[in-house]
Chain A
């Protein structure tokens, strides 16, 4: 459960709006069912009181919105950043994608976000309400007479299960206490796949990627994908396609997309969160991160502003591509 409350955030925002530090607030807007949260710009404290939420379903990473919002907004924008969001924030700054002066970043602690599909897997469709009590969710549904209690840890979003850091790497102001970089098991699944035979890996990815409907949500939600004009939208690129016609096109899109963000991906996990087909896209990104760490030394994109991404850098003593496989024996 989140340690910081909605009321604390509203209070902070109201204070900053009132003293003129910021002109608007980029926050989470309430939805219909308590778990469907929409990124929303709030202009006044009153708007926040009626429409702002902060709950265990506020997973959306706001960093990417800053690219567009800072261009449109007069004055500073207040943005609430969870630890993982701050990495994307820094990475975008490194790439000069928005004006730091136009943002007032408030770091907020995060205890991990819940995944509604995991909750529904336990208690089915027809959710009437979800309330957090301590480390438990109390869920009422249309079909159960008694509320169902679910351990929060059992329905933690995949990316939060393997949270890489509770430390904020960028903020103007921090609410609550800062955490530490965690020793996560985020590469375990990649390693598990690596240990498979090529046939098994192929079968795994064929099954996963064949579900892709090319809605582009992974790209459009990705804080590293901020090209004004994506190669996949350019009719002259020859790869502009709306839906994958076959397994080749599914692979082409996902390999190229992962490659384009390789070394810049902060592993925020938005791609997998937004995928309507639940394809574990983050594993492709993590494979690149794991490889880069192993080949060229540990590197965390977004950990600091201005660092040079590994794939736009080199040393004369780099590993040869052929050695990549020999190394494994």
Chain B
């Protein structure tokens, strides 16, 4: 019997100034992380509107992670502080609705932290894979 290994689809919103460069560094250093992590570059982690996250789930993401500069290092001074508050509230709300809390995460990854980026993605992908497909925030029409 053939076993189809389930690979989760992960959307990673990465800030242009730190995390996207961090992802680049991970690539340059040939650090492996799952190919199913789709990176979307945003000017700042604070650009991520809650709607983006829900849309990612709608279109088939199994997990969504937001990566930004470390608090205090935001290119725009304070963007990631707002992200921190917003996402704390939003993720708590998603959890309140019964959506698995392991499917969402915020991580601070600087441009120098290629290794952290790869490790974060590996860990996140593993946790999401353990949960299986996203069933609770799915739009069935998109699965056809």
Contact = CB atoms under 8 A, between A and B. Distances in A.
| Contact present between A and B (CB < 8 A) | yes
Interface of A: 190, 193-194, 198-206, 231, 238-239, 245-246, 248-249, 251-252, 255-256, 258-259, 262, 284, 287-288, 291-292, 295-296, 310-316, 318-322, 324-325
B106 A320 contact: yes
B31 interface: no
Nearest to A201: B98
A311 B92 contact: no
29 contacts: A193-B96, A194-B96, A201-B98, A202-B98, A202-B136, A206-B98, A231-B51, A245-B141, A248-B140, A251-B97, A252-B51, A255-B50, A255-B54, A255-B90, A258-B93, A259-B50, A259-B89, A262-B89, A287-B96, A288-B89, A292-B89, A316-B81, A319-B88, A320-B88, A320-B106, A324-B88, A324-B91, A324-B92, A325-B101
B74 to A, nearest CB: 11
A318 B90 contact: no
Contact of A321 (B81, B98, B105, B137): B105
Contacts of A314: 78, 81-82, 84-85
B100 interface: yes
Contact of A198 (B57, B91, B95, B105): B95
Nearest to B50: A259
Contacts of B97: 201-202, 205, 251, 255
Interface residues of B, number: 37
Interface of B: 50-51, 54-55, 57-58, 71-72, 78, 81-82, 84-101, 105-106, 136-141
Residue of A204, A252, A255 with most partner-chain B CB within 10 A: A255
Contacts of A295: 85, 88-89
B139 A248 contact: yes
